[in-house]
A and B are shown apart, each in its own frame.
Chain A
Amino acid sequence: DGGITQSPKYLFRKEGQNVTLSCEQNLNHDAMYWYRQDPGQGLRLIYYSQIVNDFQKGDIAEGYSVSREKKESFPLTVTSAQKNPTAFYLCASSASGAGGYEQYFGPGTRLTVT
């Protein structure tokens, strides 16, 4: 059963703590992405990775970090430097390359920082 999974579904943290969100895919996709979604807005790209051991900043990378040590996994760390971390976080994967491909999304993690 192929797909993309994110865990946990809900996450609560105190301000000042780093937190890592998990994203795993078994679709054999080279490219993976992290998005942030706030109410009333579309998805904004945080980081993306086109291949293992390589990743680039997206439009709102400040206060976030990622790693891509395995093709299947692309964890996102929300650091204490992120000024407004409470949001819905979505991970996606796709085939890589130019030209446009469907991105497959996970179920999301809702992070609440108080």
Chain B
Amino acid sequence: GESVGLHLPTLSVQEGDNSIINCAYSNSASDYFIWYKQESGKGPQFIIDIRSNMDKRQGQRVTVLLNKTVKHLSLQIAATQPGDSAVYFCAENMPGGYNKLIFGAGTRLAVHP
């Protein structure tokens, strides 16, 4: 398949371990944050989102934590599986009239059996 990112930071984990992917966002006024998963050669796929009035949100096997004090976002994946191997992007919504998302550079997650 096509390579999404050749020089991205990589997080390597063992199958079954928990994964934590971190993201620093840029604008303290951002009010909406979203995590996407992108497999090689495919479009990004929604994982979970969170609004700025929340600190934590849980989905199925995933949790997003938002620390507005230090402008930090994290994605926790429980019991990581080989199918979780992909590039993960965080994005923030810049307030001001339309749904503009600013994407981070991404982190590659490599899950080893």
Interface residues on B, range: 20 to 34
Q: A43-B44, A88-B2 in contact; A99/B32 too (CB < 8 A)? A: yes
Nearest chain B CB to A11 CB, angstrom units: 13
B51 / chain A contacts, CB cutoff of 8 Å: 100
| Total number of residue pairs linking A and B with CB closer than 8 Å | 79
Let me know if A2 is at the binding interface, CB within 8 A.
Answer: no
Inter-chain CA distance A31–B101, complex, in Å, is 13
- For B42, the closest partner residue in chain A by CB is A107
Interface contact A96-B99, CB-CB below 8 Å: yes
Let me know if B17 is at the binding interface, CB within 8 A.
Answer: no
Nearest chain A CB to B23 CB, angstrom units: 11
Interface-lining segment among B4-12, B62-70, B75-83? B4-12
Which of B7, B31, B42, B101 makes the CB contact (< 8 A) with A103? B101
B16 / chain A contacts, CB cutoff of 8 Å: none
Interface contact A50-B6, CB-CB below 8 Å: no
Let me know if A37 is at the binding interface, CB within 8 A.
Answer: yes
Interface contact B43-A105, CB-CB below 8 Å: yes
Let me know if A106 is at the binding interface, CB within 8 A.
Answer: yes
Interface centre among B45, B89, B100 (most CB of A within 10 A): B100
Inter-chain CA distance A108–B100, complex, in Å, is 19
Which of A44, A90, A95, A107 makes the CB contact (< 8 A) with B99? A95
Interface contact B43-A40, CB-CB below 8 Å: no
Interface contact B106-A42, CB-CB below 8 Å: yes
Let me know if A27 is at the binding interface, CB within 8 A.
Answer: no
Q: B12-48: contact bitstring with A at CB < 8 Å (1 yes, 0 no)? A: 0000000000000000000110101000011111100
Interface residues of B (CB under 8 A from A): 2-8, 31-32, 34, 36, 41-46, 49, 51, 89, 93, 95-101, 103-106
Interface residues of A (CB under 8 A from B): 6, 31, 37, 39-45, 48, 50, 88, 90, 92, 94-108, 110
Given contacts A31-B99, A98-B96, 14 further A-B contacts (CB under 8 A): A39-B5, A39-B7, A40-B8, A42-B89, A42-B106, A43-B44, A50-B98, A97-B98, A98-B98, A99-B32, A100-B49, A102-B46, A103-B99, A103-B101
